[in-house]
Amino acid sequence: MKARCNNVFDCLDESDESVCEPFSIDKKKYSKTFPPFTGSKKTIINIKIAVYEISNIDELAMTFTSEVQIFLTWRDERITFRNLAHSKKLLSKDWHDQIWLPPLYFGNSKGSTQILSSNFIKVLIIPHGQPLLNKISELNEANIFKGEENDLELSSWKELTFKCNFELWRYPFDIQKCSVEVSIPIELRNYTLLNPIEFIYTGIFNLIIQTENCGN
């Protein structure tokens, strides 16, 4: 049996790479501006943040600049995934532009705060559930997966300048407490729940890392 939809033509007629859409949605009902929401069940958005370097500290402006990468994972039961393998599947921009992406922003950064405004956005499908067995999947020779059982992951990289209220009265023996704040627009807070999972720092400064519940 030949593998389907793996970007390799195994069949002479190349039929194994046809009908390889990564997902399907009901375009009449699906809203890309509104999160998935069923009854009182909020959409959980898991958050991981990696700070790779603090490139500048400005005591007068009370800011610090750093390279930040953020990872968001959530599930959308309105989507039916297709042709998933056992590994992550990268969505092209044409595809991820069709679905809802969490419009989170950095609450204490200066300048461009929107995560989705970055030019470095990657959206993946992360398979977890088992494929459905039905007549449609057999007819199309495609594996069909439920949206509520498989993750979507958005990653974004940006260099940002964050505000921090430095307390310098003990300088140069001072210890500063600064934060990277992630929030969601107020109009969506009744439908989503932000869940901080991990905060990673890999720079040269010695930092004490503390993860707190993000502002909803």
139-170 residue pLDDT tens: 444 578 889 999 999 999 888 999 999 888 88
With 0-12 / 13-18 / 19 or more C-beta atoms within 10 angstroms meaning exposed / middle / buried, residue 213 is exposed
Q: How many domains does the chain have?
A: 1
- Is 126 inside any structural domain? yes
- Is 52 inside any structural domain? yes
- Do you find a cis peptide bond into 172, omega within 30 degrees of 0? yes
36-45 residue pLDDT tens: 987 778 999 9
Reported confidence tier of residue 11, pLDDT bands at 50, 70, 90? low
- Is 212 inside any structural domain? no
Rounded to the nearest integer, the mean pLDDT of the chain is: 81
pLDDT score, position 14: 42
pLDDT score, position 98: 94
97-156 residue pLDDT tens: 999 999 999 989 987 678 887 678 999 999 887 776 654 444 444 578 889 999 999 999
- Is 75 inside any structural domain? yes
Predicted TM-score (pTM) of the model is 0.81
Q: What is the domain range of residue 109?
A: 42-201
- Is 63 inside any structural domain? yes
- Is 29 inside any structural domain? no
Q: Which residues pair with 151 in a beta bridge?
A: 126
pLDDT score, position 127: 86
- Is 134 inside any structural domain? yes
pLDDT score, position 207: 58
Q: At 98, which CATH number?
A: 2.70.170.10
- Is 117 inside any structural domain? yes
